Amino acid sequence: MSDVTPVVGAAAPDGGSRAWLVMIGSFLCNGLIFGLINTYSVIYSRLHKDLEADQVPDASSKAALVGSLAIGTTFFLSPIAGILTDKIGVRLTTFLGGLLAFVGLFSSSYLTHKVEALYLTYGVMFGIGASLAYTPSLVILGHYFQKYLGLVNGFVTAGSSIFTIVMPHFIDLLLRNLELPSTLRCLSLFMAALMVIAPLFKPITPSKNVKLEKSEFKSLLNAGIWKEKRYVIWATVIPIALFGYFVPYVYMVEFVQTRFPDEDGKILVTCLGLTSGLGRIIFGKIADNPRVDRIFLQQLSFVCIGVLTMLMTVTHKFFILELIALGMGLFDGCFISLLGPIAFDLCGQSGAGQAIGFLLGFCSLPLTIGPPLAGMIYDHTKSYTLPFL
């Protein structure tokens, strides 16, 4: 299964049975990984109860930290995933990711009453595995698609939205019929499926007249991406914008409880998930138009999300809040689906792996810091108006 990411030289086929299998495999990778990460709140609820029954001090924060470590590790180690994708290959990196994620969840099933151990197995080990499997699943798409890369990325990243809608109900069904340990064992099988998907991600062999220079492997980092000024600016601006990006997603349910106590805030989360998946496909298709500037389209989505977030603080009708959530999800889909295509546009096929990896790594800081900072502001003001602004 050993292979390396080939240099530019072989044209993307933009179709064919293998290309469609790669697309489906990437869809499943995205769905399985983020479907589980995004629905940790269901597992958190049961873990929290079990820890309280064991009289563990600070059970709430400790149970929450397990999930926070998982998502933080997933993004923080994306640069390493990008480097490994270049050095040992897309398939092997994905396989190792699936293996680590499987071992992390399976071993966690025996440690549900030892929260400190869960920090390592669920938080770190599963997070590393998710990171190693996720980045290659985006990189491989550029080897098989060029003309339809935006649409394909939209379809693939929609996997996380679809699985996020379905997974909470599935996990809840498992928890109602099984204990938490057995549930984690069942979920570990989904991560084992990543190892089965990995062999599909075979990069297209470069043309025979393209020679791979040994010097390309002497350096661990691809210095070329840092010489591309547009990538440096893009990779700097995106994390800055993300400081406030995730805040409404974290506090939306509590915001509804304070503003509309008779309404169910989870409805807004469902609205976000539905239109986010739709937006990834719609804007992915739009981005395939040669006359469309993908970076501008992504910037426009950020502006729209920001405006809609501010409008949340002034609305007094819940149905308007639902419309706002639908709009936010739509533009969220635009932002997510264009990450891969823009990386390929700016850095090419040979640099896209590390370009995506480092961007996701940079994003881990604001995604981790932003919500707690907003929470501190709320603690002092007892209002979500300022945090949402």
Residues 129 and 81 grouped into a single domain? yes
Residue at 211 is within a domain: no
Mean pLDDT for the stretch of residues 55-79:
82
pLDDT grade, residue 14 (50/70/90)? Answer: low
Residue at 10 is within a domain: no
Residues 84 and 199 grouped into a single domain? yes
Residues 175 and 246 grouped into a single domain? no
Q: What is the pLDDT of residue 10?
A: 55
For residue 16, pLDDT over 80 is answered with no
Residues 53 and 192 grouped into a single domain? yes
pLDDT grade, residue 8 (50/70/90)? Answer: very low
For residue 173, pLDDT over 70 is answered with yes
Q: What is the pLDDT of residue 193?
A: 96
For the ranges 19-33, 187-201, 352-366, the lowest mean pLDDT is seen at 352-366
Model confidence pLDDT, tens digit, residues 240-298 = 888 777 677 667 777 887 888 888 777 887 788 788 888 888 988 898 888 889 999 99
Residues 187 and 268 grouped into a single domain? no
What is the share, in percent, of the chain residues with pLDDT greater than 70? 89
Model confidence pLDDT, tens digit, residues 149-171 = 888 888 888 888 888 888 888 88
Q: C-alpha distances in angstroms, 30 versus 8, 133, 155, 219?
A: 25, 9, 10, 30
Residues 196 and 325 grouped into a single domain? no
Look up residue 64 and give its two tokens: 């929450």
Residue at 368 is within a domain: yes
- Domain of 305, CATH number, reads 1.20.1250.20
Model confidence pLDDT, tens digit, residues 331-351 = 988 888 888 889 888 988 778
Chosen domain end from 172, 204, 236:
204
Residues 162 and 239 grouped into a single domain? no
Residue at 209 is within a domain: no
Look up residue 285 and give its two tokens: 């298709």
Mean pLDDT for the chain overall: 84
Chosen domain end from 204, 235, 257:
204
Q: What is the pLDDT of residue 205?
A: 58
Residue at 109 is within a domain: yes
Residue at 27 is within a domain: yes
Residues 135 and 260 grouped into a single domain? no
C-beta of residue 274 within 8 angstroms of C-beta of residue 161: yes
Mean pLDDT for the stretch of residues 81-106:
93
Mean pLDDT for the stretch of residues 82-97:
91
Residue at 12 is within a domain: no
For the ranges 82-96, 105-119, 216-230, the lowest mean pLDDT is seen at 216-230
Highest mean pLDDT among 130-134, 252-256, 356-360, 370-374: 130-134
Nearby residues of 340 by Cβ (< 8 Å), 6 or more positions away:
138, 139, 141, 142, 149, 153, 157, 352, 356
Give residue 373's domain range: 224-388
Residue at 212 is within a domain: no
Residues 45 and 158 grouped into a single domain? yes
Q: What is the pLDDT of residue 219?
A: 58
Model confidence pLDDT, tens digit, residues 184-240 = 999 999 999 999 999 999 887 554 444 444 444 445 677 888 889 999 999 999 988
Tell me, what amino acid is at 301? S
Residues 60 and 182 grouped into a single domain? yes
Q: What is the pLDDT of residue 131?
A: 93
C-beta of residue 178 within 8 angstroms of C-beta of residue 46: no
Q: Report how many domains make up the chain.
A: 2
For residue 6, pLDDT over 50 is answered with no
Residues 248 and 192 grouped into a single domain? no
What is the share, in percent, of the chain residues with pLDDT greater than 90? 29
261 CB-contact burial (10 Å; exposed 0-12 / middle 13-18 / buried 19+): exposed
Residues 170 and 258 grouped into a single domain? no
